[in-house]
Structure 1
Amino acid sequence: MFWKKWLSGGEPKPTEEHSIREEDLRAVVVTDVGRVRTNNEDAARFVRPSKILIRIQKGFLALVADGMGGHAAGEIASQMAVETIAKAYYQQEDTPESSLFVAFAKANRAIWQTANKNVMQKGMGTTCTAVAICQNRLYMAHVGDSRLYLFKDGQLIQLSTDHTYVQELIQQGVISAEEAEKHPDRNMLTRAMGTHNKVEVDVQAISTLFENNDRIMLCSDGLYDYFSLAEIATFLTIPALNEAAQQMVDAAKQRGGHDNITVLLVERVNPEEFQPAKPTENIDIP
């Protein structure tokens, strides 16, 4: 997974976990290559900017990307997405929505240009789902079929909409959501980053507030393919954030693990209940 290599300079283990404490937020990422693939084309990152003023204005940033393309090109595309977006978002002196849009456009163009310079990377692309957390407000940017969920008051809400062929069929009333789960083309993307010079990005401010004891979950399809909403909600009731993430990944592997599996969880904790976490590395944005 890219961010881990970027911080430590070492090769990733099959399963990696990284926890971050920042004020009343906790975050954890768990990623696994799965039981079929030989390399991990997923990438994820939770960003805490080093400067307090930027942190107040632009908040924190969580991203998950799922690459595609073969010959390790998918891994390159997803890594480029999270790296470019993480840097470009904080470089923009604009609203979170506008900053996310510009960051996604820059990442898409960078992946497209790289793919066209190397025949081994031709056609590579990636999904990417990002959420900026500004105080108790959430701002989402999304391309592809990785997902963003909000777990609030015991209810799991899917905030992103898949850019897939079967999702279009659902919206057209051709098939039901239940039929889509077993459709042979359920993972066929209609939109991805890096496959064209320009990409349409879903960007929006989420109307529901992110409050104490709420949790955010970003994940690749290698995780949610194996669970119903009710099952994911049950996992998210596990008190320890790292245990909730790890148990979901382990269960996805037990049910097949046909793809790389990545989950990023963020929770807002009541400051009075906050327990000190182990010291960890933080990503600094200039």
Structure 2
Amino acid sequence: MTLKTQTAWAMSKGARQVQEDVLHYGFDASGENGYIIIADGMGGHTSGDIAATLAVEAVDTTLRTPEQNQPDQLKTAVDRANKTLANYIARNPQTMGMGTTLVAVVISKGEIFWASVGDSPFYLIRDEKILRLNEDHSMAIQIDQMAMAGQISQKAAAEHPHRAALTSVIMGGDIARVDLRTTPFEIRKGDVLITATDGIHSLKIQQLLKIALSAPRTADKICASITEAIDAQENPNQDNLAICVSLIL
């Protein structure tokens, strides 16, 4: 059975002065094969918007020509993004310290592969349940594990000042960890894929699920419902947001 992908996207600066998120996607005319790329330039560092843009452009250049071995192609894309940043920093030493997260998802003939670095999430909604597919390269995981072990309270974990500290990032040097899907993940008709930057974390994961399930079943309506819910919170600390919603048809 041929599966097609209906895709919609949105971006917001939130309460930030600069938009450091970058999003790009491309699908063939059939809607069966394509890719999604999202990057979140490191806030508080120099030239985060440049870092995210360079990374997305490098990955786009790599994925634009489909290959049979998607994991190898995704690994090449991450390496190219990292090398591109290294070369830019070498030519522009004032940008030393810039970096970015990255999520790249390839959809091909009913299967998906992905590569990610950092904390930008990639979710699957299926059978009225939500699952994060990619790894979270931030201190949030370790802090939550401490709470589960009773070392700190749930409240302390939720408010921990280092929750958002990244444990892996693209900065032009060694990458501590890359989450690379090496075996195909099969998608199904009705699946909803949400690729986003961490600005989406203004919604708790069950809120996100409820909003997605209650929206009309089109990618643009689901995407609009999520962004409207985030805007309605009027969070004075709202981070940049980039979101791409893909509905499998």
Q: 1:157 to 1:75 in 2, by over 3 A?
A: same
Q: 1:46 to 1:101 in 2, by over 3 A?
A: same
Tell me the residue number matched to 2:105. 131
Q: Identity across aligned pairs (percent)? A: 25
Q: 1:112 to 1:72 in 2, by over 3 A?
A: same
Q: 1:179 to 1:70 in 2, by over 3 A?
A: closer
Tell me the residue number matched to 2:179. 202
Where in structure 2 are the equivalents of 1:172-183 lying within 5 Å?
Answer: 173=149, 180-183=157-160
Amino acid at match of 1:187: A
- Deviation of 1:96 after TM superposition, in Å, equals 0.6
1:124-144 deviation digits (Å, cap 9, x = unpaired): 100011211112111111100
Equivalent in 230, 244, 247 of residue 206 of structure 2: 230
- Deviation of 1:195 after TM superposition, in Å, equals 4.7
Say whether residues 1:142 and 2:116 are aligned partners.
yes
Tell me the residue number matched to 2:78. 104
Q: 1:206 to 1:241 in 2, by over 3 A?
A: farther
* TM score, norm. by length of structure 2: 0.86
Consecutive unaligned residues of structure 1, counting only runs of 5 or more, are 1-22, 270-286
CA-atom RMSD, angstroms?
2.7
* TM score, norm. by length of structure 1: 0.75
Say whether residues 1:166 and 2:143 are aligned partners.
no
Q: 1:49 to 1:110 in 2, by over 3 A?
A: farther
Instruction: State the number of aligned residues.
Output: 241
8 Å Cα contact 1:41/1:72 also seen in 2: no
Tell me the residue number matched to 1:249. 227
8 Å Cα contact 2:84/2:172 also seen in 1: no
Q: 1:247 to 1:176 in 2, by over 3 A?
A: farther
Say whether residues 1:120 and 2:94 are aligned partners.
yes
Consecutive unaligned residues of structure 2, counting only runs of 5 or more, are none
- Deviation of 1:149 after TM superposition, in Å, equals 0.3
- Find the aligned partners of 2:94 and 2:71 in 1 and give their Cα distance: 34
Name the stretch that deviates more: 85-94 or 40-49.
85-94
